[in-house]
Amino acid sequence: MRQSQIQELILNSAAKHQPKINISNSKAKGIAHYLTETGVEDNDIVNKIVPAIINQLALTPAATNKFPHANFIDQFIRDNHIAVPPEPQRTSKNAVKAQRRVDSLSRLMAVHDTISPCVAVVLHEGKLVIASNFPRITATDEADTISKFTKIMDRRLHIVQDFIKKMEADFLADSKFEVSDDLDILLTDGESLADEKLNIAFNAKGLALAALAVRALGQEDAGGYATVVPERNKKCESQREHLQKALLKLASSYFLTKYYGIANTGLSIEQAKALTSGNYELLVRSDSIGKGNWHAEQLIVDYLRQNNAIKPEEPVHIGISKLCCQACDSVLSEFKGIEYRGSHGVSFPGVHNMLTGEVHQGLRTGKSTHLCASDSDSEVDLSSSNSSLTSSMDLSSSSSQITEGSESGRGSLKRSVDSFYGCGSTFFMVKKAREEHRLTASCDGITLPIKV
């Protein structure tokens, strides 16, 4: 059963009970969500668990909305020996930089879960292709609804591209692609400058620009924030901070690839150009595509297949804002030329398999795992070379200055950014660093890792 069906069952059962039980929509939704995570059979939910919950609520009508449903459900399942399926099996694949960068892009493009639970992207042959789980609309206003969604995604992509283009315009104003030697890099015996790599180091102005961009992504006209914070995330405490880092990592790969020819940044020259070009395509589910219930990654695979772009010798990395469900994992794993992050192991009802044309019959699982991939170990480098823009504005603090409703903080950051336009490379510096040695730079008592 879907969560909405269980929620409706709870509300109707409470309304029919004598005397009537007053339960809020949010409480019924919370109970329904927890029940879907247990993975128990529908018959057990309808005939055993929900009636037991209603009877329990009737005993304490004054505390209905404070009812500890999780403990009650767990205990009831144990006492009544209700069969519970195993927990979902997560699978993860090698997260090379090429995969991490398209994953970063997919998370930036992901909208609030109520609009589309998942977004997938691919940068291929000079084009950015974006797909979503945007629901099939069966009413007569399907075209109008899809049009509104398209405007949201247009706005979201413009924000990401505008962030990079603003940095790029300021960078080109200098017309000097020089590497900064402001770091004291000590070489041991046997090491040479040939071992060195280049990294982008963002200063406070760059962080402010990223914070403004992420603030804009959270607005209603851009689709808001999706639930995309990684499974094990010791570095980021909020979706906003995570998206800010994703944006800076994407920009770092863009500049190192396009202007310095650095290999292994996660983007090719062709992909970097496609990222900021106007050449993009949005795929949504409708009567004419995806049988109304292909997930985003299946839409991307179908696009690649239609364009004869799946070649085992030239793997294509698909960025997905969350890990694949059972249905999509079974499809993507059939293609040798497709690379993706892995599966969270959960089976969702009604998802079609594009290869068979049938609804996927997955294994029932217990409580759902975290739906997002684990975070990578890479960090964003912060510059400490500009005394007027010190590194004291870290990601979390710059992000907190522009929380929703804080227009004064937003205005202050915007004025700080605007005042430096045309002043050359004021958003970042290019530094020498050897990734494998995890070099750090210190300034004003702050030590920061130099790794992208």
Instruction: Determine the pLDDT at residue 230.
Output: 65
User: How many Å apart are CA 60 and CA 324, to the nearest integer?
Assistant: 41
CB atoms within 10 A of CB 126: 11
Q: What is the sign, positive or negative, of the torsion defined by CA atoms of 266, 269, 272, 274?
A: negative
User: How many Å apart are CA 334 and CA 360, to the nearest integer?
Assistant: 15
Report which DSSP code applies to 21: P
How many residues in the chain?
Answer: 452
Q: What is the sign, positive or negative, of the torsion defined by CA atoms of 217, 218, 220, 225?
A: positive
| pLDDT band at residue 345 under the 50/70/90 scheme | confident
Residue 257 has pLDDT above 60, yes or no: yes
| pLDDT band at residue 369 under the 50/70/90 scheme | low
Instruction: Determine the pLDDT at residue 440.
Output: 44
Per-residue pLDDT, averaged over 292-299, amounts to 85
One DSSP character per residue, 307-353 reads TT--BTTB-EEPEESS-B-HHHHHHHTT-TTEE--EE-----TTPBP
Minimum mean pLDDT range among 24-33, 81-90, 142-151: 81-90
The more confidently predicted of residues 4 and 174 is: 4
The token pair at 101 is: 């960068």
pTM, two decimals, is 0.71
Strand-pairing partners, residue 359, are 352
The strand order across the sheet containing 381-382 reads 381-382, 197-202, 428-433
Please state the domain extents for the chain: 3-79, 91-449
The more confidently predicted of residues 358 and 32 is: 32
Percent of the chain with pLDDT over 90: 34
Residue 421 has pLDDT above 90, yes or no: no
Which residue carries 């529908």 as its tokens? 42
What CA dihedral angle connects 369, 374, 375 and 376, to 10 degrees? 180
Select from 399, 379, 397 the least CA-distant residue to 441.
379
User: How many Å apart are CA 313 and CA 383, to the nearest integer?
Assistant: 39
Give the distance from CA 133 to its chain's centroid: 14
Per-residue pLDDT, averaged over 375-384, amounts to 51
Instruction: Determine the pLDDT at residue 179.
Output: 43
Minimum mean pLDDT range among 14-28, 105-119, 316-330, 429-443: 429-443
pLDDT tens for 347-360 read 777 788 888 888 87
pLDDT tens for 306-333 read 998 888 888 899 999 988 888 888 888 9
| pLDDT band at residue 261 under the 50/70/90 scheme | confident
The residues, ordered by sequence, that sit 6+ positions from 213 with a Cβ below 8 Å of its Cβ are: 159, 160, 162, 163, 247
Per-residue pLDDT, averaged over 228-252, amounts to 77
Minimum mean pLDDT range among 25-34, 142-151, 180-189, 261-270: 180-189
Which residue carries 């945007």 as its tokens? 134
Select from 230, 166, 218, 255 the least CA-distant residue to 375.
230
Instruction: Determine the pLDDT at residue 206.
Output: 86
What does pLDDT average to over the chain? 77
Instruction: Determine the pLDDT at residue 110.
Output: 92
Report which DSSP code applies to 195: G
The token pair at 246 is: 């994703």
Instruction: Determine the pLDDT at residue 439.
Output: 38
Minimum mean pLDDT range among 103-107, 316-320, 417-421: 417-421
